[in-house]
Amino acid sequence: MIPPTPSHVRCSIVPPYLLARLAGLEAPEHQSAAAAARRALVELDPIHHARATAPRDSSRGAGTAVVLALRRTIADAGGSESLPGQIVRREGDPPMGDAAVDEAYAGLGATYELFSEVYKRASIDNSGLPLDATVHYGQQYDNAFWDGTRMVFGDGDGEVFGRFTASLTVIGHELAHGFTQYSSNLRYQGQSGALNESISDVFGVLVEQRQLGQSADAASWLVGEGLFTDQVEGRALRSLKAPGTAYDDDVLGKDPQPATMADYVDTTSDNGGVHINSGIPNHAFYIAAARLGGNAWERCGQIWYDAATGGRVPTDCDFSLFASVTVEAAIARFGDGSPEADAVRYAWREVGVL
């Protein structure tokens, strides 16, 4: 079993620095959003403790049958903060007409299909793990998270955030934390934590791109598009194509992500800047995918998948080592001197890592 990461890590889709900014709003017209953000911040520690103590291997125990098929279960918390909630839709059931339930069901399926059909992985743990989700969690809850065993979605405060199932990249991102949990289990601190976030962003956008049939040049490369209400000046939480440009709002501030090592943020907050500095490996992936063209989930996504699952990424991996592993993965699959290997090398040089 891979050793667990430290407890009290912050791995939810909305960065803690953004929640903290919202929580500090004092204007009367923003008090509802501020209260919702404060509740979301309070929730982080117990959620992430649960993640840190979740299983890291895919064993089922002796004599346990492994079912290698998609199995989804959606539960409704009904506005409470008790998990899992009441089961309202199982695998094969027809749509309910509840947008959050049906979006979660579809998003789990799209994520499963990317890993299964493209990378030949049996669910996120490679042993047929059932995919469970809970919707309508909490009152005006401003987040979505993977707690180590299931997906959980809030409905948002209605002022800054809408429901979190509305963005397929959010569902793919959080389930990809489960993929990392069962593969490299990157420590959620500093550069290894930023890689943990980046891998989730990468596979989150690939889930959406494959579902929409978008090539690298046609895709938005946004994470969390559709989360903000029309009161916010911004399109998404993050951009792989142009880190630092996802939002620029009087209330939320400006997207702080750097695109290259020249602007790397050295900080003790956000577990050493895991949500901020993930913009650098994110941008490297985008550059490589754009240089190769076509469908990003095929060649570039395969390289990142091979790197994450090849056993050469330690839990404390930094950007430089991960870059080297992705180059080696590209060479192993496509050959030295191939367009794929050259694109990956070029990308990491462009962001200042190699």
Catalytic positions: 174, 275
Q: Rounded to an integer, what distance in angstroms lies between the CA atom of residue 86 and that of residue 109?
A: 20
Q: Rounded to an integer, what distance in angstroms lies between the CA atom of residue 185 and that of residue 179?
A: 9
Q: Rounded to an integer, what distance in angstroms lies between the CA atom of residue 291 and that of residue 217?
A: 9
Asked if 348 and 354 count as a contact pair (C-beta separation under 8 A), the reply is: yes
Phi/psi at 92 (5° precision): 90, -10
Q: Rounded to an integer, what distance in angstroms lies between the CA atom of residue 13 and that of residue 1?
A: 26
Task: Pull the structure tokens for residue 160.
Answer: 């800054």
Task: Pull the structure tokens for residue 320.
Answer: 């430089």
SS3 161: strand
Residues 6+ apart with CB under 8 A from 225: 167, 169, 235, 236
Type and span of the H or E element at 302: helix 299-309
**Residue 84, preceding peptide bond in cis (omega within 30° of 0):** yes
Rg from Cα positions in the chain:
19
Residues 6+ apart with CB under 8 A from 235: 220, 222, 225, 228, 246, 247
Q: Rounded to an integer, what distance in angstroms lies between the CA atom of residue 222 and that of residue 185?
A: 24
* 3-class SS shares of the chain: helix, strand, coil, % to 5: 45, 10, 45
